[in-house]
Amino acid sequence: MRPEKFSICRMPLHELDQPRPGQAHLWYLDLGDLGQSLRHALGGGVAQPEQQALSVEQLKFARRFYLKLLLGAYLGIPGKSVKINRSRRGKPSLDRSEHHSDLQFSMAKSENRVLIGFSCTAPLGVDLEPIGRHAHDPSGIAQRYFSAAEARGLERAGPDRLDEAFLRAWACKESVVKASGQGIANQFCRFTVETDPDQPPGILEFEQDDPAQWSLAMVQADDDFIGAVALHHPHLEVRAFKLASA
């Protein structure tokens, strides 16, 4: 999914329709842009220095703020009223004792960009990676952590496309692991994703699971970042949005 497929939604957000069965909503946020507006609001409307980079703590606050803002818009409540729990392995989810909803979510961050996915159908996971990222020894990483079939597939990519193939495979695998809620440790080698960048993304094999019950998709919200979404469901329709300041 290319940048032109992302619908621009501007602040303030109003009540949002929840994803339909088999559908995932993806939201792409540039906190460098949104953070300036947020800092202006938190400063009581006082003008803030332009283009001042957000600190690590400010980015952390902004990510949580906008996640709860979006969750609240889907639930029809103020973002500050949203309650989030974390599983034993650290996967965040709505507090079901407070929110009686099937809504599930996953968030990925890279630099000052954020990708958040929502589904009411099944567990999902998202990942976000900078396109210019070059892994040190991608073939060695694949040999050590990926499935044997993926390692062979990356070898076939050749030196000119190895970084591209590795980055896509990594994003897909991260999204699947996040959807499973099991954490990365000892999970990357349990399944095989398509490593050929010219082929549609997909899960080819899955230990103790049926790959046909999973769906994968790739998105690119701008020229600098790619994202992946995995849904534990045989069908996936993606609707993509980019949140912008007013």
Q: From first to last of the 246 residues of the chain, give the pLDDT tens digit.
A: 887 899 999 999 999 999 999 999 999 999 998 977 666 655 555 555 555 788 899 999 999 999 999 999 999 999 999 999 988 777 899 999 999 999 999 999 999 999 999 999 999 999 999 998 888 999 999 999 999 999 999 999 999 999 999 999 999 999 999 998 876 666 899 999 999 999 999 999 999 899 999 999 999 989 999 999 999 999 999 999 999 988
Q: What angle do CA 172, 193, 144 make, to 5 degrees?
A: 90
- At the top level of CATH, which class does the domain 3-244 belong to? alpha beta
Domain ranges of the chain: 3-244
Reported pTM: 0.93
* Cα–Cα dist 152/204, whole Å: 14
110-169: pLDDT as tens digits: 999 999 999 999 999 999 999 988 889 999 999 999 999 999 999 999 999 999 999 999
* Cα–Cα dist 232/130, whole Å: 25
